[in-house]
Every structure is written in C-alpha cells, then in structure tokens.
Amino acid sequence: MSKTRFFDEMNGYGDEPRALYAKVAEWLARTPPDILATRRAQAELMFRRVGITFAVYGGNDDTERLIPFDIIPRIVGHREWSKLEDGLIQRVTALNMFLSDIYGAREILKAGILPPDIIYKNPYFRPEMSGRRVPHDVWVHIAGIDLVRTGEGEFFVLEDNARTPSGVSYMLENREVMMRLMPDLFSSYRIAPVDNYADALLAALRSVTPASARGEPTVALLTPGQYNSAYYEHSFLADRLGIELVEGNDLFVKDEIVYMKTTEGPKRVDVLYRRVDDEWLDPLAFRPDSALGVPGLMNAYQAGNITITNAVGTGVSDDKAIYSYMPEIVRFYTGKEAKLSNVQTWRCREPDAYKYVREHLDELVVKEVNGSGGYGMLVGPHASRADIDEFAKKLDYDPANYIAQPTLALSTCPAFIDDAVVPRHVDLRPFILTGSEGSRVVPGGLTRVAMREGSLVVNSSQGGGTKDTWVIEDTNLVAKNLEGKSLETKGA
Amino acid sequence: MLARTAENLFWLARYVERADFTARIIDVTSRLAALPQSYRGAGGEWESALAAVGALNAFNASFSEATESNVVHFLAFDETNPSSIHNCLEQARTNARTIRTALTAEMWQAINSGWLELKSFEERRRTGEYSGIESILPFLEFVKSVSLDFDGAAYRTMLRNDAYWFNRVGLYVERADNTARLMDVKYNVLLPKSEAVGGSLDYFQWTSILRAVSAQTAYHWVYRESVKPWLIADLLILRKEMPRSLIYCYDNLARFLDHLGKAYGMQATSQRHTRMVLRRLENASMEEIFQEGLHEFVTRFIDDNNRLGGIIAEQYLLV
C-alpha cells in the first residue's frame, strides 16, 4: 500500500467530511454494514433483472457479467461542476475544429504545431474523409472525456473518447437504482437530473440530418449485435431514444441511399448513430471481412445522403499521441488557454522523453498510443521487475507507439467493499453532446471505481466498478406542489 | 418496423406459448400416469404426451423407452430437443435480447427473470437438490407463471401498434397449433361412440384434456352438464368464448392481421387465408366435423395453420 496521502472525495485531506459530503457521512455513520450489504444485494438484483450486463473479452465462463456497482455516491459540487462544464465544452469545440481542419485545410500542420506523421501515420486517420465536410461541421456528436482529480479543485483530463464512447447507460441506470434504493438520502440533496440525456441526444442527432433528407428525419442506432460487450447499452439507448436498433443486415444501400428493411418495405435512414468502429462499417471501403457493416455505406455517406455519428475518422483526435498536444490544439483553435489541464505526458517518439521514460519505468504509467480499455499498459509502481523488463522490450521495439505519464495521486471515494467502507480510487467520465446548436454536458457522468485496494485501474474490462455521480444544483428551486384533490374511494 | 424485429416478436410469443403448453402437457400426463393401471387404458400416456408436442420422433432417436423420467427430462430440460421448455425459454430470451427496444421493460423483465430462474432450477437439479416427479411440479408451475407474466406484461404495457400485433399473431398461431395437436392425440377418446365404450376410464382422459387447457370449470359454465366427449371437442373447436379454442384463435388472428393490413395499407395472402379458415370454423357444426372425421378435420387444420405461419413470413418477415 502506497504511503502517499490521497485526496478523498468525502474527507479531503483531513478526517472531517467536506461540507458536500456531510449528509453522506452521517448516513454512513448511522447505517450498519448489514443494511449496506442488503442495499448492495438489492441493487445487484435490480441490475440483473433489467439485464444490464457487460461481456468481458477473454472470460469464457460467464459471458454476461455485471459491472460491480458501489452504493456510496460520488458528489460534485455546483461550482466545481460549472468549471468542468466550461472546460469540457471548450475541449469538445476544439476537437471538432481540429477534425474539420485535419480533413480540410490542415492549417495546424502548416503552422507547424503538430508533426505531420502523427496524423498521416495514425491508424485512425481516414484518407476517405479528406476534403469532406460534415453537417454543421460536427464530427464528435457524443464525447466522453475521462477526468481525474488530485486535489481540491484540481481536475485533469486523462483521456478523450471521440469514437464511440460507452458507459452512459450506467450513468442513467445507476441513478435509477439509487433513487429507488435510498430515496431519503437522495432527496436530502438537490441533485441535478440526468434523465433528459436521451432527449438531448436525440435532439443533437436530429439536428445534423443531411440536407438531402425529406420530412421527419429517421435516426437508427447501428449495433454489432447481441454478442458485443456493450450490447445492453445499445439496446438501452435505442429504447430511450425511440429509434430502431439495427444490425448491418437490417440495412442496405441502393443508389447511394441507405434503407432499413421493415415490415412495410424499405425505409430511408437519415442519421446513423453507429456503435460499430470505422473499420467494420463498410466491407467495400474498409475491412472486406466485416459482416457487421453495410456494403456501400461509405458511398452514401460521401454522397451526403446519410449522417454518421460520430463521424468517420474521429479516432485521429482521441489518440494518446494527439492527447499530449491538446493544450496546443485548444489554443490554436479557440485562441484561449485550455481550461482543463492535461496530465503531464512524455511522448516516447521524442528522444529526450524516451530516455527519461526508459530510466523511470518503475514510477510511470506507460500506455500504447492507440490502446484502450486498460489493455497493454504498464503501471510502473505496481509492476514486478520482470513485468517492467518485459514491457521495456516492447517499448524499445517501437518507442513512437507509447506515451508515459506520472502515476497520479488519483482521488479516492468511500466505497462499500465486502463489509466495510473503505477508500477506493475513482475517475469521472462526463458525456458531452454536440449538435447544430452547440454543445451541452448532462450534469453527471460515469464514476468508475478501482475496486481493489490501492489499484488505479478503473476500466470495467479490468474489474472496475461504477457509482452514481451526483451533481448538486445551486438554485433553490422549489417544486410546485400538486394541487389535486384527494383520490376518490369506494362508498365515500 | 424492422422485419427482423417483427420476426423476433412473432417467435418470442410462440416460444413462450410453447413452453407453457409443454408444461401443461407434462402436468396432465403425470396425473394420468399416476392413476391405477385399471383406469389407465392401454397405457402409452408418455408417448401421447410426446406426440402432442410433436417430439415423438426426436425422442425415439435418443431414447429407447418412454419412461416418465426420460420423457420429463426430454420435454423439460433436454438441450437436444429443440422444443424442450429449456430451449423454448432460452430461445425466447435470445429473441427478446435482440429486440429489447421493441419490448416494454415489463416484458423484458418477465422473460429475463424467467430465464434466470430456469438456470437456478437447473442448477438445483444438477446438484441433486431436486429430483423425481414431485420436484417437477413446482417447475411446471414456474413455467406457467412465466407465460402469465410475459403475456400479462405484453397485454398491459405494449402500445397497440404493429409490435403488439405481431406478438399476438405469434401467440395465436402457436396456441391454435397446440390445441389442435392436443385434440389430435386424443381424438379417439373424443368421438361420440367412445362414451358407451368408456365409462370411468375415459372420464379421466376427458378431464385431463380439460385440465390441460385450464377449462374444467369453464366447461361447466358453458354446458351445465356432465362431461361429454363431443362437447369437449365443441369447446375446443367451435366455442368463441373459450380462449384456447381454434375459432377463438382464428377470430383473433383475423383481427390482428386486419390491424396490420390497415396500418400498412394492404390486405394480402395472410389476411385472406385467415378469413378462409375462420369462415370454415364459423360455418362448421360438430355433427359435420364428426362426419368428416375428427382426425381428418384436425389434421387439415394443423396443415392450414402451418401454412399461415409460412405466408406471414413471406408477406412481412422476409423483406
């Protein structure tokens, strides 16, 4: 166990709860562990019943696993939140401008801000998109930006997710469960609601309908199918949005228009919210072996007859090598300093940085530039000598494929593990929606928890759990009371 | 609606209905098989149970003898039997999972909880906690409760649009098939002449048919007399107030297919075929049916009903 003193979401650096957490602390003090255990069991039952499961690759015994849910909420104060909100919107605005530029005039390369090969050699750069514009210049309609906190008011961006970020169903379902399990604690705070997320998402999707569409836009969600790890989320979102959940086989392209096969014959699709990665979207344009995609989809897209969200080619912006340039990117496009800080990052492509990283492997977190889900990374302080030596070989073979960051003193939040309340490290993924009217952030997000003591890896694929995230409203809105008459009863 | 969604809704309803029917058949058969030998007639109760659910050939391919434990295992839990209760609930859940968005939360919960409970029943059987025929009865009750939950959830929570209609069409195609099969297996005891031959032996057979379709009380409400085999046939074929009768199923099929036809602005083969079958039932009398031969009548009905399934697939599901 590390000796570092971590900032705790509930207790700060001291042993007294922060004002924000006073009621939670009080609730924890008066609730015996067996009641907490019962609540946790009830929550698990609720998740099982709705079938909110997550398939973990590589575990073949139990393909439908629940992500562990922790019943102690994570709370963000109003002032903290509004600063984050500004920073997130600024960052997403810059990401969209960056993508328009990279697939357009490439001013940022001309200005020498980025080395060109970081774009052109990037596996997520799509030459097919060069010279293309997308409706309202929105590329990243749904972004998930991972934040970590290291102290009072100190948040850092850990990672941008601009392809097909997932996790929002947990934000919504966690809230549902918390409201049902602990209504008293819940109502003792003024918590900003998250359930308008679906409406906001649908509005954003409809706002980017292609110009050639006629009448009411038809939006559909493209899923790889029920064996995909995030299938639950796909069906959940399609349901909340009231749109069709389609698989590749449900769609076909004729004369550069995309149709879905319905009981009333073919029906045109105008906006496709895809949860399928670029390379699987169209076997004629990308991987020819893809059975998940739709032949001809890219033709229809390039002809401007369908909007794909997020746009094809956004992966070039959320890559970890690009990440290290985000402060420059934000400055270049918005003319202002980034409101949200990056974590200090060494790009191993640069000889000095590589040398430093090589000498400090036992202190750093080293990640693959294009990796995700916590796979293929080295957490120096927690790795054995053998692990480090093994990793060093990979690093030496292709330094440009790696970046390194200091091990952050990630904040902890109380969690109920086994039968005790103990601190566990957390991060936060808020979701930012962008349509023709600009960007907005739903007040909340997905708080991920490293369930093992001392662990800093919060990814669900690595056994991380989740918590409900409460953003506290500042205004004293008083709900108007119902003025209805009492209910009638028989014989009264 | 997506053609694939419609197909899944249709089959989801069929699988749940089939699981329910199979549970009912096991239930009444185990009662009949428990009677003293002298009441049981020629025996072969378990073979006729297999025939009623269309599983006789598949069973004979894996088992040499139709003992109670073999048949119960085969009908309820065997994964090699495509229509076992296990497979019906598993298929229903897979279908439901693929079309979560077309189901209401209540429908999904009914089917998902049913599936989870099935797993736990099977686990308890594996560990030997449950065995023998006594343990099967709570299981059968559970299966029936799944179909009640699911069907009730559909009825109470679904929007009345094409999703609901495809679900209902699947339900009634399956139910019509089940009722017809039940009669076909037992047609010999339902013939008018059998009353003279039978006596108490046949009485158990008749009441077991009524029991299989939850109609013992209904019978008395409708006829107000003692159990007569031709009246049971009448109840199961021609009585519109009986929710498992062939005519009731077709009345509903005609109604729901009409809704689909109107909503989509087109009446086609499935609507015409359904009306043809319904008209034949409406114009039939039991005398004529017995004259034609109950077995022949029911066989023809089963063929016509299968044809309807094919026509619906062609018209709506295979775009």
Measured at the CA of B134, the angle between CA B244 and CA B213, to 5 degrees, comes to 5
Tokens 């956004």 — which residue? A314
Asked if A335 contacts A284 with a C-beta cutoff of 8 angstroms, the reply is no
- CB-nearest partner of B100 from A225, A239, A246: A239
Q: How far is B106 from chain A (nearest CA, A)?
A: 9
Asked if A241 contacts A221 with a C-beta cutoff of 8 angstroms, the reply is yes
- CB-nearest partner of A263 from B99, B112, B162: B162
Residue B201: the pLDDT is 63
Please judge whether B100 and A261 are an interchain contact, meaning their C-beta atoms are less than 8 angstroms apart.
no
d(CA A250, CA A231): 16
Please judge whether B319 and A262 are an interchain contact, meaning their C-beta atoms are less than 8 angstroms apart.
yes
Residue B133: the pLDDT is 67
Per-residue pLDDT of chain B (319 residues; tens, 9 = 90+): 999 999 999 999 999 999 999 999 998 888 888 777 665 555 688 888 898 898 989 999 989 888 888 999 999 999 999 999 999 999 999 999 888 888 998 999 999 999 999 998 888 888 877 666 677 889 999 999 999 999 999 999 999 999 999 999 999 999 999 999 998 888 777 776 654 444 566 778 888 889 899 998 999 999 998 888 889 999 999 999 999 999 999 999 999 999 999 999 888 899 999 999 999 999 999 999 999 889 999 999 999 999 999 999 999 987 6
Within a domain: residue A314? no
Provide the domain count of chain B. 2
Together in a domain, B275 and B174 = yes
Burial class (CB in 10 A: 0-12, 13-18, 19+), B203: middle
Half-sphere exposure (CA, 13 Å, Cβ side) for B164?
17
Cα separation values, A374 from A223, A252, B46, B52, B169, Å:
23, 35, 56, 54, 48
> What's the domain range around B94?
1-158
CB contact, 8 Å: B77 with chain A? no
Asked if A302 contacts A132 with a C-beta cutoff of 8 angstroms, the reply is yes
Residue A484: the pLDDT is 47
Please judge whether B319 and A235 are an interchain contact, meaning their C-beta atoms are less than 8 angstroms apart.
no
Peptide bond into A310 cis (omega under 30): yes
d(CA B20, CA B22): 6
Q: Considering only CB atoms, which chain B residues are within 8 Å of A262?
A: 1-3, 319
Together in a domain, B177 and B314 = yes
Provide the domain count of chain A. 1
Together in a domain, B247 and B174 = yes
Nearest chain A alpha carbon to B105: A50
* Secondary structure (DSSP) of A308-341: EESPTTGGGGSSHHHHTTHHHHHHHHHSS--SSE
Q: Considering only CB atoms, which chain A residues are within 8 Å of B264?
A: 263-264
Cα separation values, A478 from A191, A443, A473, A474, Å:
13, 19, 12, 12
The token pair that represents A209 in the structure block: 């309908």
Angle between helices A326-334 and A78-102 in degrees, nearest 10: 80
The token pair that represents B221 in the structure block: 């409400």
Size of interface A-B (CB pairs under 8 A): 65
In SS3 terms, B3-36 reads as: HHHHHHHHHHHHHHHHHHHHHHHHHHHHHHHCCC
Please judge whether A226 and B94 are an interchain contact, meaning their C-beta atoms are less than 8 angstroms apart.
yes
CB contact, 8 Å: B190 with chain A? no
Nearest partner of A77 among A230, A198, A190, judged by Cα: A190
> What's the domain range around A352?
344-407
Asked if A67 contacts A55 with a C-beta cutoff of 8 angstroms, the reply is no
Please judge whether B3 and A261 are an interchain contact, meaning their C-beta atoms are less than 8 angstroms apart.
yes
- Report the DSSP beta bridge partners of residue A441: A432
Asked if A312 contacts A126 with a C-beta cutoff of 8 angstroms, the reply is yes
Which CATH number goes with the domain that contains A403?
A: 3.30.1490.270
Please judge whether A48 and B116 are an interchain contact, meaning their C-beta atoms are less than 8 angstroms apart.
yes
Nearest partner of A267 among A209, A211, A219, judged by Cα: A219
Q: How far is B236 from chain A (nearest CA, A)?
A: 33
- Residue B57 CB neighbours (<10 A): 9
Together in a domain, B139 and B243 = no
Asked if B154 contacts B34 with a C-beta cutoff of 8 angstroms, the reply is no
Residue A249: the pLDDT is 94
Cα separation values, B80 from A224, A409, B317, Å:
29, 55, 27
d(CA A131, CA B39): 86
Within a domain: residue A418? no
Q: Pairing mode, if any, of strands A219-222 and A271-274?
A: parallel
d(CA B269, CA B312): 8
Q: What is the pTM of this model?
A: 0.82
Q: How far is B316 from chain A (nearest CA, A)?
A: 5
Within a domain: residue A403? yes
Nearest partner of A155 among A459, A426, A369, A423, judged by Cα: A426
Q: Considering only CB atoms, which chain B residues are within 8 Å of A265?
A: 319
d(CA B140, CA B136): 6
Q: Pairing mode, if any, of strands A438-441 and A154-161?
A: unpaired
Together in a domain, B189 and B311 = yes
Please judge whether A226 and B97 are an interchain contact, meaning their C-beta atoms are less than 8 angstroms apart.
yes
Within a domain: residue A30? no
CB contact, 8 Å: B2 with chain A? yes
Within a domain: residue A375? yes
Tokens 């930012």 — which residue? A432
The token pair that represents A265 in the structure block: 């014959």
Together in a domain, B178 and B55 = no
Please judge whether B317 and A263 are an interchain contact, meaning their C-beta atoms are less than 8 angstroms apart.
yes
Tokens 């496009």 — which residue? A333
Distance of CA B114 to the CA centre of its chain: 18
What pLDDT, in 10s, does the model give residues B153-200?
A: 999 999 999 999 999 999 999 999 999 999 888 877 777 665 444 456
CB contact, 8 Å: B94 with chain A? yes
Per-residue pLDDT of chain A (492 residues; tens, 9 = 90+): 444 578 999 999 987 899 999 999 999 999 999 999 999 999 988 887 776 665 544 433 445 677 889 999 999 999 999 999 999 999 999 999 999 999 999 999 999 999 999 999 888 999 999 999 999 999 999 999 999 999 988 999 999 999 999 999 999 999 999 999 989 999 999 999 998 999 999 999 999 999 988 889 999 999 999 888 888 899 889 989 999 999 999 999 999 999 999 999 899 999 999 999 999 999 999 999 888 999 999 999 999 999 999 999 999 999 888 999 999 999 999 999 999 999 999 999 899 999 999 999 999 999 888 766 566 788 888 889 999 999 999 999 999 889 999 988 899 999 999 999 999 999 999 999 999 999 999 999 999 999 988 888 887 777 789 999 999 987 544 343 444 456 666 664
Of B158, B177, B194, the residue that ends a domain is B158
In SS3 terms, B251-283 reads as: HHHHHHHHHHHHHHCCCCHHHHHHHHHHHHHHH
Residue B313: the pLDDT is 93
Q: How far is B266 from chain A (nearest CA, A)?
A: 9
Nearest chain B alpha carbon to A248: B4
Together in a domain, B220 and B87 = no
Of B142, B158, B174, the residue that ends a domain is B158
The token pair that represents A130 in the structure block: 């060069």
Cα separation values, B263 from A56, B157, B160, Å:
42, 20, 11
Together in a domain, B75 and B174 = no
Please judge whether A226 and B2 are an interchain contact, meaning their C-beta atoms are less than 8 angstroms apart.
no
The token pair that represents A251 in the structure block: 């769609």
Site from A263, A268, A273, A294 to mutate, B interface, most B CB atoms within 10 angstroms: A263
CB contact, 8 Å: B100 with chain A? yes
Together in a domain, B55 and B5 = yes
Within a domain: residue A351? yes
Of B110, B140, B158, the residue that ends a domain is B158
Burial class (CB in 10 A: 0-12, 13-18, 19+), A290: buried
Please judge whether B105 and A50 are an interchain contact, meaning their C-beta atoms are less than 8 angstroms apart.
yes
State the virtual CA torsion across A379, A385, A391, A396 in degrees, nearest 10: 120
CB contact, 8 Å: A46 with chain B? no
Site from B95, B97, B103, B260 to mutate, A interface, most A CB atoms within 10 angstroms: B97
Q: How far is A103 from chain B (nearest CA, A)?
A: 35
Q: Considering only CB atoms, which chain A residues are within 8 Å of B101?
A: 235, 238-239, 243-245
Asked if A447 contacts A68 with a C-beta cutoff of 8 angstroms, the reply is no
Together in a domain, B25 and B78 = yes
CB contact, 8 Å: A103 with chain B? no
- Residue A339 CB neighbours (<10 A): 17
Asked if A404 contacts A346 with a C-beta cutoff of 8 angstroms, the reply is yes
Q: Considering only CB atoms, which chain A residues are within 8 Å of B108?
A: 50-51
Together in a domain, B132 and B23 = yes
Q: How far is A479 from chain B (nearest CA, A)?
A: 28
- CB-nearest partner of B1 from A238, A262, A266: A262
